[in-house]
Structure formats: C-alpha cells, structure tokens
Amino acid sequence: MGNNPKIKRLLEILPGAISWGILFLLVALAVWQPVACAIIVIIFEFYWIIRTVYLTTLLALAHRKLYRQKNRDWLADCRAIDSAGGRFKYHLIIFPVYKEGLEILQPSLEALRQSHYPKEKMIVVAAFEERNPAARQTAAALEKEFSNVFFGYLSTFHPDAIPGETRTKGANATWAAKQAKEFLSAKNVSYEEVIISCFDADTCVDKEYFGCLSYHFLTNPKPHQASYQPIPVYNNNIWHAPSFARLVEISSSFCQMIESMRIEKFVTFSSHSMSFKTLVDIDYWPVNMISDDSIVYWKAYLFYKGDYRVIPLYITVSMDVAYSSNFFRTIAMQYKQKRRWAWGVENIPFVIGSFLNKNETPFLKKVRRSYHLLESHITWAIWAVVITLIAPLPVLLHRSFFSQVSIGYNLPKITGMLLNFTMITSFAWIILSRLTLPKRPPDIKWRKNIIMIMEWVIVPVVILILGSTPALDAQTRLLLGKYMEFNPTEKTREKQH
Amino acid sequence: MTSEQKIRAFLFYLGVFIFFAGLPFILSFALGYKFDPHKFKFTKTGIIVIKTQPANAAVYLNNALLRDKTPLTINELLPAKYNLRIELEKYYPWAREVEVEKGKVSRFEKIILFPLRPHVIQLNKERLSSFWIDPESKLIYYLNQDDSSIYTSNLEGENYKQIAPFIAITPLPAGFRLSPDKQKLLYFNKHQVAIAYLNKQREGPVQDEPFVMYYPGEGLRDVFWHSDSYHLITISNKKIQARETRIDAPDVDLVNLSRRDSDVFFDTATDTLYFTDYQKADDGNLYNNLYKIGLNTKTFLLQNLIGTKDKENGQ
C-alpha cells in the first residue's frame, strides 16, 4: 500500500498541506473571526510556554549528564568489563567528502589520531567524490600523513552517475562502506565486530569518543539494534562565526541535547555511529535521499520491526558553524543548510509509507512514531510564524473592535506576560551556551564575551528567518513535488593565531 | 526507568496538568469571565480603563476607595451601573455614572482634572494693549500702545524684548497675521489694517516703517497674507480685495460679494481663495455656492489678475 505512488504522493503532500492549512486558517480567522483567532493564539502561546519550560528543563538535565561524563575515562570502563581487551570492537570511520580541502579534513583526522582508543582497532575511510577534481590530490596528501596511523586507511572515490543514485552524501558513504566491507573481508574481520561511524568532514571527535561509544555498545544487550548519537556542537569556529549563525548552531546543538532526553522520539542526526553488521543488513544508507542520517535509522527501525533505538552518547563531536565571507551569503548559506535539515520531512512518506506496507512493527508504535514525525515537522514550520506574525493580527486588523472588548484589552497583556515568562528560559539557554563554549582563542578580544550574551536579543528574528521559514520552504517543495538536490554546506574556518 | 526518565515523566505530566488546569483561568481572564463562587459558575464581566491628567488621582467606585490610583484598569466588574468618582487634592473632582457591559471595555482616557485655583503667571514685563501668539515659532507678540512698541517673548514669558515700532489702531486689533517670511506682522480691526516690520530691511527702497491702511465703512472681517509676504487679501462684508503692502497701493477688487456673511478662507500654502456667495439661478432663486480662485502665481501673474479685475470694474 505504501508503495502505491498515489499514496506516496499523498504522504508527501500531507505535512505541507497541514502546515499551510493551519496558517491559512489562522489568518482567515484573524480576518473574519478575530476573537476565535485570539483565543487560539492564547491557547497556543500557553502551550508553547509550558513546552519551552519543559524542554529547557530537559536541556538542563542533558547538560548535567554531559558535564558529569566530561573527562570520564571510558576506555578504563571498557577494560573493567573486558579486562583482556579481546572484545574491543573495530571502529570504521567514514568521512564523506565533497569539496572540503585539507584545512577541514586534516584537523578531523588529527582528532582521530589524538583519540585514546587503540589505533590498531580503527579503520579510517576518506570518501571522496570522483567528480571533485581536487579529490586525488587531497587524498594523496592525507594518505601521506595518516596511512600508517590506523589499522586501515582507505581513500575511496565515488563514481558519478551510478544508475539509481542521486548526488547525495548517502550515495558516497554507501560506496565507501562497500569498499570498507571488502577491506574487512580481506582482513577476516567479522562485521559484528565493527562499529561504523559516519562523520561530516569537519567533525572533530572528543578523545574519549570511541571509548564512550565502545562502552555503550558493549553494555547494550542488543548492540546491533541501536544507533549511537553523540551531541553535535559547533565549536570548531564558533568564536569567529557571525552572531546569528552562532545562535542558530547553538540552538541546533541544544535541540539535539533535548532530543537526547526523549529517547522514544530520538532519531539519528548528522554524525553518528551504529553496528556495521546492521548497516550491511539494511543495505547501507539511502543513495537517493538527502536526509540519509535519519533515513538510515528508519531503515534499521523497520528492519528490526520497531525494536531499534538511538542511544544518546553524552560526549561531543565538534563541527563547524557554517558561515561565509559576507553577511548575506552567510544568511543564504545558513538558510540552505536549515532547509536541507528540514528536508528530513521526506522521512514522513518513507516511514509512514513503509508502515502501511504491512511492516511488522507493532501498530501502536507505528501510530506514535508517525504522529511524532508529523508533529515535529509541522511544529517546526509554524510555531515561529504563529507567535511572531499571526498572534498580533487580530488586534492589528480590528483595532477599533478590540479596543472595546475585554479580550482585546487582555490579549496583549496575556501575550506579553506569557512571552516575558519565556525570558527566564532564555536566561537558562544563555547560561548553558556559555558552559558549552570552548576556550576563547587568543585572537578574539575579551569583549566578544559581552557581544555573545547581548546577541541573544536577536533570537526571535533569527528563529523566524532560519527557524520556521526553511521548514515551510522544504515542506512546500515536497508538497509541490519539487524535490531538493543535495546542497553541501560550504565550511569556512579561519586560521587560528 | 532511570531517574532522568522519571524526572522527565514527572515534568511531562506536570506540564500537562498545568496546561489543562491553567487554561480555563487564562481564557476566562482573557474573555472577561469571573468565577462566582456563590453561584459556582463563570460570569462574563467588563472592564473600566481610567487615565487622568494629572495622574495619581484617587478613584472611588460606588463610594469605595480603590487601592490603586490613576492610571488604572478595573477588571472583572460584573455588568451594572457604577458611580465613578475621581478625586485629586487641589483639583475639581470628576464624577459620572458608568455602565459596565459584559465583555466590553469602558474607556475614560481623556479625563482632565482642572485645578481649583489655577496658577496664574504674568508674562508681560511692560504695559500691554494686546497680544498674539504664533504657535509655529512659539513666540508671544505683545503690543504696547503706550510706547508704540512690539515686544516678544517665548511661551514662558522669557527672553522678553522689544523688537519693532508699532502704530496704534483704534479699536484694538481684532486679529493678527504673521507674514510667511516672518518679517512682518499685520493687525487689523474693522476699519484699519496696520503693518509692523519685525526686522528692518537692510537695503533697497523697500518700506520698513509701520503704517496703517484705512478701510472706512468696509467692515473688515479678515486679512490674509499672500505667500509672497508682500500682497494682502482683505475680506470685508462687501468685497474680497488684494493689495500690496505699501501705503499708497490701490486696493483691487477680486470679488464683489452678494452676501454679507460669506465664508472665506485663504490657503497660504497654495495661494488659493475659497469663498461662498449667492448666485441667482435660472429659476430666479438665490443659491449659496462655494467658489475657488487660484492665486498661486508669481507676483506678476497676480498683478495681471488685478489688472483684469480693474478692467472689468472699469467696464
């Protein structure tokens, strides 16, 4: 049933139709039934504030876990459960590369070298796109520096235009994983002994990352039925990034931390790890979808009939804040990146369509996960628009009427009171953002600390421009059948003095 | 279940509880409902909003003094008639009966409390015959017939100074007009128009001594400056005339009015004259019409017009 093209198309239309439907309905109510619209706005704002407080508390709890597990000697913990070290798993690390050069890749591989995990248990794959003319040169430079560091080091070159594939990161990662599979077979390494991590090219892991990952893998009763998700932070260039780009990425990190506390809804995002055996069993990443990081989770979820989960790792992997040489290019870049993330809405037709295909996942799980998916994408697309643009509409359009009725007098007071309440949560976010910040580089002046606190004032604007709008854009494209192509984010890293 | 999951579950259900428990109160407050514990039901109420000038006045509602002072919003009032009284020491009280309707806001935001004994400040420093205030330049012009001088000060009476000579007219001026270039002040009564020069002309054969123009029997009603600050438009009971501001300039009739109480307005911004007058229609009846004459010309065009009128008058 889910394979039916008409059903698939309907499921593609569904999220955008609901989001736009809600927005149009509210605008229509603001015009013709302003009191009804005002009541809905009050209910939504009240709900949103309770939700914000709830999520901020989860963020604080996640932060507490992250802080407590910081500097923990995970390898020692691994040895404690496996004193001989015989059960230590191999780690296969794939870096899908598009145009990133040595200045991005070299620090990522160096972080692996600095990792505390035994290098003889690590296989690194630098996965290049063959269509990138600089790929061979970059690969050669990296091989020269890193080929003797690990148990295995591979440079792969993903051929362009393989039938059935689109130009996505998943296609490149899949090609690299298949090359690595041959390498592992040649070395007689069982797939069950391998944990694969697929990292964005700019990902710098914590020294304890693989120890932490191994510990969770070894202590998990069903290690192959789980993905392992670290906390992504954007600390590589956070001090040098412009204010709004920094705020967006801090918010992204925080959202990920919050999600880590909601395990039943948790889905893999960006850099993450999983069992190589499971990856082979589910036929790798999707090769024609943009949101490969979450789809791979759903493929495993469906493969294991709902008995698959994401285990949060309270350890960070650090990536780059996406920004460019000028303000407007940075906004455009951020917008495209967030739209690509929001394109995760393509999960909805994939997952619900698969659920409809007589998949043996329990019915209640199907309903819950479908609801969570829809709710999260629709909320993402509409909430900022409702609070910032639609909430004032009834009073603006019917000023004279609202000046004479109680709700008109009370609405701005209630809205102001409720939104002021969110200031408290904003303070919590500011404090937590300071705690996750890396040490200030020597070339950054002290006063930047003040700026980084003051910049939170622009959050409402940032949320509107880079929060809801890209999500609405992505949903509208899916609704209209204008499918997005993978558009890798350009990474900029200033040289640190 | 781990301790974090327990905390999370607790927070979740607490949030759900707060939402459903708090929502009725928030919505009832927004819609103006008040819970009546005696009747055990929500009753729709009204609001009174009060702002006074000056603020901080005491408010009595049905003779009961309210704790807060103005500006003040009285919420959750059951629909009824209320006696509202506002008191502030040394000011006249304000009182009225207010009807509060359910779900409605009764706004009293333009209440001015007038002082019992207004604080009177003398502004003139010399003897005074008449005065005029130019709101645009925020200046007071004082006319003193005793020493035939015009004085000015700011609106507080400060910077009081003599600025120009002045010729007295009798009876005292009924109106004043400052020329658009702020250089001349005209003042007039029913039969005289006087011009005072506020700044001496520096050069050229331009008159800068005050003088009086006489309109015996005309019954002057108003005088306007043309935007060139040189021509005057005079309105009498019989005529609308134009003339230059020099003592020997002739008056030129622009319009001979049929009615004595015509409404006349001259827009200096566009130099357009608007007036009403009777006109006899084909049916033999007199009808009141509104007319417009554009004088938005350079001086020579105005003179052409005056010339045309002269010819007409000659015919």
Task: For residue range A270-306, list pLDDT tens digits in order.
Answer: 899 999 999 999 999 999 998 999 999 999 999 999 9
User: Residue B41: what residue type?
Assistant: K
Per DSSP bridges, beta strands A309-318 and A272-275 are unpaired
Yes or no, beta carbons of A407 and B103 under 8 Å apart: yes
Q: Which residues on B lie below 8 Å from A404 (Cβ)?
A: 104-105, 107
User: Residue A66: what residue type?
Assistant: L
Yes or no, beta carbons of A262 and B29 under 8 Å apart: no
Q: Kindly state whether B47 is in contact with chain A, defined as any CB-CB distance less than 8 angstroms.
A: yes
Residues B45-57: tens digit of each pLDDT: 899 999 999 999 9
Q: Is the pLDDT of residue B299 over 70?
A: no
Q: Show the 3-state SS of B44-96.
A: ECEEEEEEEECCCCEEEECCEECCCCCCEEEEEECCEEEEEEEECCCECCEEE
Residues of chain A with pLDDT under 50: 495-497
Closest chain B C-alpha to A410 CA, distance in angstroms: 5
* Same domain for B193 and B151: yes
> Which residues of chain B from 238 to 297 reach within 8 Å of chain A, CB to CB?
none
Partners of B85 in beta bridges: B60, B95
* Same domain for B169 and B83: no
DSSP class of residue A159? Answer: P
Choosing from B112, B145, B169, the residue where a domain stops is B112
Mean of the pLDDT values across residues B99-106? Answer: 90
Yes or no, beta carbons of B31 and A407 under 8 Å apart: yes
Kindly state whether residue B197 falls inside one of the protein's structural domains.
yes
Kindly state whether residue B139 falls inside one of the protein's structural domains.
yes
* Same domain for B74 and B20: no
The domain tally of chain B equals: 3
* Same domain for B136 and B85: no
Exposure class string for A280-309: b at 16+ Cβ within 10 A, else e: bebebbbbebbbbbbbbbbbbbbbbebebb
Kindly state whether residue B266 falls inside one of the protein's structural domains.
yes
* Same domain for B166 and B88: no
Residues A63-97: tens digit of each pLDDT: 999 988 888 999 888 888 876 656 678 999 999 99
Which of A261, A404, A406 has its CB closest to that of B31? Answer: A406
Asked casually if ipTM beats, i.e. exceeds, 0.95, the reply is no
Closest CA in chain A for residue B12: A54
* Same domain for B161 and B22: no
* Same domain for B143 and B45: no
- A136 closest CA partner among A149, A147, A123, A126: A126
Yes or no, beta carbons of B15 and A50 under 8 Å apart: yes
Q: In the sheet where B139-144 sits, what is the strand order?
A: B130-134, B139-144, B149-154, B161-165
At the top level of CATH, the class of A73-330 is alpha beta
* Same domain for B281 and B201: yes
* Same domain for B249 and B301: yes
Kindly state whether residue B213 falls inside one of the protein's structural domains.
yes
Q: Kindly state whether A428 is in contact with chain B, defined as any CB-CB distance less than 8 angstroms.
A: no
Closest CA in chain A for residue B8: A58
- pLDDT value for A85: 57
Q: Is the pLDDT of residue B310 over 90?
A: no
For position B104, which CATH number holds?
2.60.40.10
Q: Where are the domain boundaries for CATH 3.90.550.10 in chain A?
A: 73-330
At residue B285's C-alpha, the angle toward residues B284 and B287, to 5°, is 135
Cα separation, B149 vs B142, in Å, equals 8
Closest chain A C-alpha to B36 CA, distance in angstroms: 18
Q: Kindly state whether A68 is in contact with chain B, defined as any CB-CB distance less than 8 angstroms.
A: no
Closest CA in chain A for residue B28: A407
Yes or no, beta carbons of A54 and B22 under 8 Å apart: no
Structural domain range at position B89: 41-112
* Same domain for B184 and B78: no
- Which pTM does this prediction carry? 0.74
Mean of the pLDDT values across residues B169-180? Answer: 90
Yes or no, beta carbons of B26 and A46 under 8 Å apart: yes
Kindly state whether residue B144 falls inside one of the protein's structural domains.
yes
Q: Which residues on B lie below 8 Å from A63 (Cβ)?
A: none
Residues A195-228: tens digit of each pLDDT: 999 999 999 999 999 999 999 999 999 999 999 9
Kindly state whether residue B18 falls inside one of the protein's structural domains.
yes
Q: Kindly state whether B19 is in contact with chain A, defined as any CB-CB distance less than 8 angstroms.
A: yes
Largest CA distance in chain A: 81
Question: Cis omega before residue B54 (within 30°)?
Answer: yes
